[in-house]
Amino acid sequence: MGRTGPGPVMTAQPGRRLPLRITQLLVGLFLYGIGIAFIVRGEIGAAPWDVLTQGIANHVPLSFGVITILTSVVVLLLWIPLRQKPGVGTLLNALLVGPAADIGLALIPTGQDLWLRICFFVIGLVVLSAATGLYIGTHFGPGPRDGLMTGLHRVTGWRIWIVRTAIEVTVVLIGWLLGGNVGFGTLAFALLVGPLCQYFMRIFAIRIPARDAATA
């Protein structure tokens, strides 16, 4: 099977794009957390992974962000049979997305009118998908959840959006059984996030030197 990374690789001076890659990585991770917060504050059904987080929060005295970090650690264990190798981006994702989501949840108001909550959801879906393209496009390694997605894509040969949708559907069922918030937004997210992520991964992929790409 050929290379499956999001975007072409070209020859360039070593490290020339490193500042751009680091900046894009950090911005992407922060926006990912903000996207999560917008979707949760939409209150029309959380995203599948957040349904799971909410479900777990019903049973343990931990914050949304802390549970997100702990879930990332568990997901990383699933990388082992897929022979996925974590990168700097993987570790930063596991550590930073949860706190960024907590910041967003603290700033975005709750209990808004339906039309505004729908807007929150749409904003969150687009921001989260774009953030996925941003940090995966830096070639520092995918986040725990997206590494699971890309690992299954590599092993099975299925399209990215098919793998992502299958994962989201499975996760939301587990979260629902634990008491997470499932609604119309959950279904919309599960169906739309895969194609959106695939679109933004093409847009934000950074071209890097071939030897750096091999390391990444």
What's the gap between Cα 58 and its chain centre?
22
What's the rounded Cα separation, in Å, for the pair 191 and 194? 7
Nearest to 27 by CA among 152, 119, 130: 130
Place of tokens 């500042």: 19
What per-residue confidence (pLDDT) applies to 215? Answer: 52
Burial (0-12, 13-18, 19+ Cβ within 10 Å), 171: buried
Q: pLDDT tier at 151 (50, 70, 90 boundaries)?
A: confident
Q: pLDDT tier at 16 (50, 70, 90 boundaries)?
A: low
What per-residue confidence (pLDDT) applies to 152? Answer: 87
What's the rounded Cα separation, in Å, for the pair 36 and 46? 8
Query: What does the DSSP 8-state code read for residue 206?
Result: P
* Whether 68 contacts 101, CB under 8 Å: yes
Least confident span in 11-20, 48-57, 78-87, 92-101: 11-20
What are 167's two structure tokens?
Answer: 């994962």
Q: What is the pLDDT of residues 26-52, one digit of tens each?
A: 999 999 999 999 999 999 999 888 999
What pTM was estimated for this model as a whole? 0.81
The answer for 29, left when phi > 0, alpha when psi is -120 to 50, beta otherwise, is alpha
Amino acid at 9: V
What's the rounded Cα separation, in Å, for the pair 47 and 39? 7
Nearest to 177 by CA among 26, 54, 32, 18: 54
Can you say whether the dihedral through the CA atoms of 23, 101, 140, 73 is positive or negative? positive
Indicate the domain borders of the chain: 18-210
Q: What is the pLDDT of residues 182-214, one digit of tens each?
A: 999 998 987 888 889 889 988 888 876 655 555
What's the rounded Cα separation, in Å, for the pair 133 and 136? 5
Query: What does the DSSP 8-state code read for residue 207?
Result: P
From the CB of residue 1, how many other CB atoms can be counted at a distance below 10 Å? 6
Q: pLDDT exceeding 90 applies to what percent of the chain?
A: 47
What per-residue confidence (pLDDT) applies to 212? Answer: 53
What's the rounded Cα separation, in Å, for the pair 74 and 78? 7
Q: What are the start-end ranges of the H helices in 43-113?
A: 48-57, 64-77, 79-82, 88-107
Select the more confidently predicted residue: 10 or 127. 127
Q: Radius of gyration (Cα) for the chain, nearest Å?
A: 17
* Whether 75 contacts 84, CB under 8 Å: no
Res 123 pLDDT > 70: yes
Least confident span in 11-20, 149-158, 170-179: 11-20
Res 84 pLDDT > 50: yes
